[in-house]
Amino acid sequence: MKKIFAVCLTLVMLFTFASCNKTNGTNTSSQNGASSQSQEQSGSSSSGTSPAQSSSRPVSNMPLYSGPEKEKSYTVKTVDYKYNENNKNYRASYPQLEKDGKDYSKVNELLKSTALQTINSIGTSGSAEAKVKVSQHVYYRGDDFISVSFSESKKSSSDKTSVSSMRMVNYDIKNGKALSAADMVQNNDALYKAVESAVQTSMSKKNAAKFTSSVIKAGLKSFNVYFKDGSMGISLTVPEDLGGHKEIKIDYEDTSGFRTSNAAWKYFIK
Looking at residue 134, which CATH number applies to its domain? 3.30.565.40
Do 214 and 226 lie in one domain? The reply is yes
Q: What is the structure's pLDDT at 34?
A: 36
Phi, psi of 214 (to 5 degrees): -70, -35
User: Are residues 259 and 185 in contact, defined by beta-carbon separation less than 8 angstroms?
Assistant: yes
In terms of residue numbers, what domain contains 100? Answer: 73-179
Round to whole Å and give the CA distance between 140 and 131: 29
pLDDT digit string, tens, across residues 138-149: 999 999 999 999
Question: Per the domain annotation, does 95 fall within a domain?
Answer: yes
Do 150 and 80 lie in one domain? The reply is yes
Question: Per the domain annotation, does 119 fall within a domain?
Answer: yes
Do 84 and 170 lie in one domain? The reply is yes
Last residue within a domain, chosen from 159, 179, 199: 179
Question: Per the domain annotation, does 77 fall within a domain?
Answer: yes
Return the SS3 of 143.
Answer: coil
Which one is predicted more confidently, 124 or 22? Answer: 124
Q: Determine what percent of the chain is predicted with pLDDT higher than 90.
A: 62
Do 217 and 227 lie in one domain? The reply is yes
The secondary structure element, H or E, covering residue 195 is helix 189-202
Is 60 exceeded by the pLDDT of residue 60? no
Do 231 and 154 lie in one domain? The reply is no
User: Are residues 90 and 119 in contact, defined by beta-carbon separation less than 8 angstroms?
Assistant: yes
Is 90 exceeded by the pLDDT of residue 246? no
Round to whole Å and give the CA distance between 258 and 269: 13
Do 185 and 170 lie in one domain? The reply is no
Is 70 exceeded by the pLDDT of residue 25? no
Question: Per the domain annotation, does 44 fall within a domain?
Answer: no
Question: Per the domain annotation, does 206 fall within a domain?
Answer: yes
Do 187 and 170 lie in one domain? The reply is no
Last residue within a domain, chosen from 179, 208, 237: 179
Do 185 and 172 lie in one domain? The reply is no
Residues contacting residue 265 through CB under 8 Å, at least 6 positions apart: 184, 259
Question: Per the domain annotation, does 270 fall within a domain?
Answer: yes
Question: Per the domain annotation, does 234 fall within a domain?
Answer: yes
Spatial CA neighbour of 200 closest among 188, 210, 189: 210
Question: Per the domain annotation, does 166 fall within a domain?
Answer: yes
Do 141 and 237 lie in one domain? The reply is no
Is 80 exceeded by the pLDDT of residue 9? no
Round to whole Å and give the CA distance between 170 and 149: 9
Last residue within a domain, chosen from 146, 179, 212: 179
**How many independent structural domains does the chain possess?**
2
Q: Is 68 left (phi over 0), alpha (psi -120 to 50) or beta?
A: beta
Instruction: Give the burial class of 66: count Cβ atoms within 10 A of its Cβ; 0-12 exposed, 13-18 middle, 19 or more buried.
Output: exposed
